[in-house]
Amino acid sequence: MPTAYNVITVEREYGAGGSVIAAKLAERLGWKLYDQELTADIARIAQVDQKVVARCDEQIDPLLYRLAKVFWRGSYERMLPLPEDRVFDTDSMVALAQQLIEDAANRGRCVVVGRGSPHILRHRADHFSVFLYAPRELKIRRAVAQKISEREATELVDTIDLERATFVKRYFGKDWPSRDLYHLMLNTACGYETAVDLILQAMEITAGIPLAK
């Protein structure tokens, strides 16, 4: 693998398999994976509890509170446990996440899933950015495979990305997805292993080409 890239960010549609593919990328490269660990690190640094959450919830727009819970989870966001005492003021959370993601990138050899990472690291020439998507029907099937009903899976597929787009617009001032941020936009209907192969091949082909400013 060329040394031009030192960090990969993986942005994804809900149900496109972003967390799975990111984990496979990290394993294949022997790099550090930052996915759910980012949420845990934010909670640890902020030392939040249920009382803090309750006070913050009264002070911020309930929509933003809901968006925050969606934004900081991995590929199958609402099916992963995130205690209520780990969500606090959204502005503080964004600031902490930016610090943690920048620190991870400075250490290098890492794969970061979502959390605004393509925007936060957009000026780094050693950053390779991927956006993953998939057909709606496939995303629903993948969500159902996580042991939820088809009705709930359909609702999540139809709503989570809209919520994520609203969050990105508010905190980064960009449309979601912002196509100029990505080296590669990939349909994961090709399968997870094939997606990993294609990402690594694209990294080799584009090594040394910086992201658009």
* Gap between the Cα atoms of 207 and 4, Å rounded: 6
**What percentage of the chain reaches a pLDDT higher than 90?**
50
74-127 tens-digit pLDDT:
444 444 444 444 445 667 777 778 888 999 999 999 999 988 899 999 999 899
CATH class for the domain made up of 7-204: alpha beta
Domain ranges of the chain: 7-204
How far is residue 29 CA from its own chain's centroid? 19
* Gap between the Cα atoms of 116 and 105, Å rounded: 13
pTM of the model: 0.78
Place of tokens 């980064």: 172
173-186 tens-digit pLDDT:
999 998 999 999 99
Question: Quick one: pLDDT band at residue 63, thresholds 50, 70, 90?
Answer: low
C-alpha distances (whole Å) from 141 to each of 72, 113, 187, 188 are 23, 22, 15, 13
